[in-house]
Amino acid sequence: MDWEEALSYSQNITTANYTDWRLPNTKELQSIIDYSRSLQTSGTVAINVMFDCTPINDPENNMNYGYYWSSTTHLDRATPASHAVYVCFGEGQGYMNGSLLDVHGAGAQRSDPKSGNAANYPQYFGPQGDVRYVYNLVRCVRTIN
């Protein structure tokens, strides 16, 4: 989903008889990363074992894990608020020196455009050739009092 769809989906979902779901902020997503795990070191996704992650195919058709949107808007851009922060639990990929590499590592926090034409993505951006998607995954959360 693009970011606006992710926000709407998380605010309108009813699951387990609850309707108070939302898109997590960056700190909430970071809190479930398990840095002792990664595709390179353990062959597993870097997330607390309590959670699952959705596998995807990367731009070279290798297995990775999707990037998960946060509710956090990235304001440090030429066009502020055009991007939102995501967290990756698999490889934080970039295209450098003619190769697709894990340039940021599991648990990386980056940002993608909030909207755009899916046919134009993935793209590579910046000095590390960050893989950018306009459609990312959603992990809904709710506040428990």
Q: What is the pLDDT of residue 79?
A: 84
What DSSP designation does 103 have?
A: S
Distances (CA, A) of 64 to 4, 26, 90, 121: 24, 20, 6, 16
Nearest to 90 by CA among 78, 111, 74, 107: 107
How do residues 13-62 score in pLDDT, each as one tens digit?
999 999 999 999 999 999 999 999 999 889 999 999 999 999 999 999 99
Q: Which pLDDT score is estimated for 91?
A: 95
Residue found under tokens 């297995």: 63
CA separation for the pair 92, 88 (Å, rounded): 6
Q: What is the residue extent of each domain of the chain?
A: 3-132
| pLDDT one-digit tens code per residue, 91-144 | 999 999 999 999 999 999 999 999 999 899 999 999 999 999 999 999 999 998
- pLDDT at site 66: 87
Residues 6+ apart with CB under 8 A from 108: 87, 88, 92
Tokens of 119: 């046919």
* pLDDT confidence of residue 47: 95
Please give the residue that has the higher pLDDT: either 74 or 137. 137
pLDDT (0 to 100) of residue 87: 97
What is the model's pLDDT at position 114? 96
Residue 89 has pLDDT above 90, yes or no: yes
CA distances (Å), 131 to each of 3, 57, 69, in order? Answer: 16, 13, 15
Are 48 and 34 in contact by the 8 Å Cβ rule? The answer is yes
Cα–chain center distance at 97: 24
| Cα gap 110→88, rounded to integer Å | 8
